[in-house]
Amino acid sequence: MPDDDGLWKRSRRAVYAEITRVAMELFLDQGFEETTIDQIASTAGISRRSFFRYFGTKEDIVLGDLVDQGSLAREALEAIPLSVPPWQALQDALWQVDQRTDQAVMLEVAKMMYGTPSLRARSIEKHLRWQEQLVPNIRLRLGADPGDASDPAADAIVATAITCLDVAGQIWVRGDGKDDLKELYRRAVDSVRSPGT
């Protein structure tokens, strides 16, 4: 008996990937803000209505993986022994996710994101969702109850770690990807963890 559900999922993934490919080519060729949803749909050979079955907004095409990356970061963090201190565990988890991304593609997406206010805002919104996913594990590492939201320590550490990642990304883009992003992140973290800063 054929697996209709599996076939449907594969077809959906293929269409999703094709829309993403077409849209990214248009974004990189003519700019994010200059590219319309109608143009993406037409070039991909689908209707505007079909576009919205796959993406809620144009921004989701560029940043859709960001939510999934948050889940991957949470899984990576949970796999790191609780004996590893919070800052080191977060860095290790974030870089496990980063290694899965093609650096040239990541640079082009980052340039687009940092240069487009609507993408920037959407990116910040998605990073807030990362924070919700990572905080419970950091509470455990701090010896706190993972469900206790009254202590700000874990929230502050995770929010700062994510902000350091964002700052490192901005500097990396300004340098056209020539600097080591991991090293920029480490330096950003060290600057907020050092005494007197």
**Confidence at residue 197, expressed as pLDDT on a 0 to 100 scale:** 35
Mean pLDDT of the 99-126 span: 83
Pairwise CA distance, residues 149 & 138, whole Å: 12
**Confidence at residue 122, expressed as pLDDT on a 0 to 100 scale:** 85
Domains recognised in the chain with CATH numbers: 1-56 (1.10.10.60), 59-193 (1.10.357.10)
Q: Are 143 and 75 in contact (CB under 8 A)?
A: no
Band of residue 163 on the pLDDT scale cut at 50, 70, 90? very high
Neighbours of 57 (CB within 10 A): 13
Single-letter code of the amino acid located at 91: Q
Mean pLDDT of the 55-65 span: 84
Band of residue 105 on the pLDDT scale cut at 50, 70, 90? confident
Q: Are 41 and 48 in contact (CB under 8 A)?
A: yes
Which residue has better confidence, 65 or 137? 137
Examine the pLDDT at 23 and tell me if it is beyond 50: yes
182 CB burial (10 A radius; 0-12, 13-18, 19+):
middle
Q: Are 86 and 138 in contact (CB under 8 A)?
A: yes
**Confidence at residue 67, expressed as pLDDT on a 0 to 100 scale:** 67
**Confidence at residue 5, expressed as pLDDT on a 0 to 100 scale:** 67
The residue whose two tokens read 């990576």 is: 76
Helix (H, G, I), strand (E, B) or coil at 102: coil
Average confidence score pLDDT of the chain = 87
**Confidence at residue 128, expressed as pLDDT on a 0 to 100 scale:** 87
Contacts of 57 (CB under 8 A, 6+ apart): 122
Band of residue 43 on the pLDDT scale cut at 50, 70, 90? very high
